[in-house]
Amino acid sequence: MSSHDLNGPLPHEPERATLEGRNKILGFWLFLGAETVLFGTLFSSYLALRHNTGDGPTPNELFQLPTVFLATMILLTSSLMSVFAVQSLHQKKVKPMIGWLLITILLGLGFLGLEIYEFTEYIHEGHQMPTSAFSSSFYTLVGFHGAHVAFGVLWIGLIILQIMKKGLTVVTAPKVYVSAIYWHFIDVVWVFIFTVVYLMGKVG
């Protein structure tokens, strides 16, 4: 950090200005590789078990495409908002960056609310965690994704608080960048969830 001290002018691409920042980004990609494998195992168990519905409802009876489409739009838009936050970061505009991050987590909360509503509907329709192999693998996969969204909302919320307290520096910038990468990854996983779980569930 010798060449870029905390109080000096912010360098170009501040998230990569220090070795620590670059290592943080590289390490985060390693984490995403592990996350890919984790979600891969959940997807493969869902694919293996999705036809075993027992006495419970089938995917075709359960899923409502309009709700899923709305959830998809919310998450896709929030992903765009977080890339705008990174652009503001590169332009060193702190206030717009915080604004984009706030919209990102608000949309994330909207997505979570919709998912909670969806799950309660399913439970009323007799689709609970222990109902069938399909329901267990469904809640594990989709719930795990939802937990990632919830974690992302908390994490980005804390980063916003830290930026407001400490400002945009070579220490805080990598956090914003890495959390945006995380948020895009959550959206990428959702692309496969709405494709493999919901749309393929409707097709049968």
Partner 1 sequence: MSSNHHSSHDETTTRHRVEGPKKHIVTFVLSLVLTLIAFAAVASGEINTAFTYIILVGMAVVQVFVQLSFWMHMKDKGHLFPTIGIIFGIIVVFTMVIMAEYWVWW
Residue ranges that bind partner 1, judged by CB under 8 A: 3, 9, 11-13, 16, 26, 29-30, 32-33, 36-37, 39-41, 43-45, 47-48, 65, 69, 72-73, 76-77, 79-80, 83-84, 87, 90-91, 181, 184-185, 187-188, 191-192, 194-196, 199-200, 202-204
Q: Which of 91, 92, 107 is nearest to 157 (CA)?
A: 107
Question: Which residue in 130, 166, 158, 124 sits closest to 7, CA to CA?
Answer: 166
Of 92 and 128, the one with the shorter C-beta distance to partner 1 is 92
Give least dist CB 54 to partner 1, A.
16
Q: How far is the CB of 48 from partner 1 (least distance, A)?
A: 4
Using CA atoms, how far apart are residues 62 and 73, in angstroms rounded to an integer?
Answer: 20
Long-range CB contacts (< 8 A, 24+ apart) of 73-79? 74/107, 74/110, 74/111, 74/114, 75/107, 75/108, 75/111, 75/149, 75/186, 75/187, 75/190, 76/187, 77/107, 78/103, 78/104, 78/107, 78/108, 78/111, 78/183, 78/187, 79/183, 79/184, 79/186, 79/187
C-beta of 7: minimal distance to partner 1 in Å? 16
**Cβ proximity to partner 1, 153 vs 178, nearer residue:** 178
Give the count of beta carbons closer than 10 Å to the beta carbon of residue 44: 12
- Closest distance between partner 1 and the C-beta of residue 188, in Å? 5
Question: Which of 84, 134 has the CB closer to partner 1?
Answer: 84
**Between 29 and 117, CB nearer to partner 1:** 29
Q: Which is nearer to partner 1, 109 or 192 (CB)?
A: 192
- Residues in CB range of 106: below 8 A, 6 or more apart: none
How far apart are CB 163 and partner 1 at their closest, in Å? 19
Q: Nearer Cβ to partner 1, position 123 or 196?
A: 196
Smallest distance, partner 1 to C-beta of residue 165, A? 25
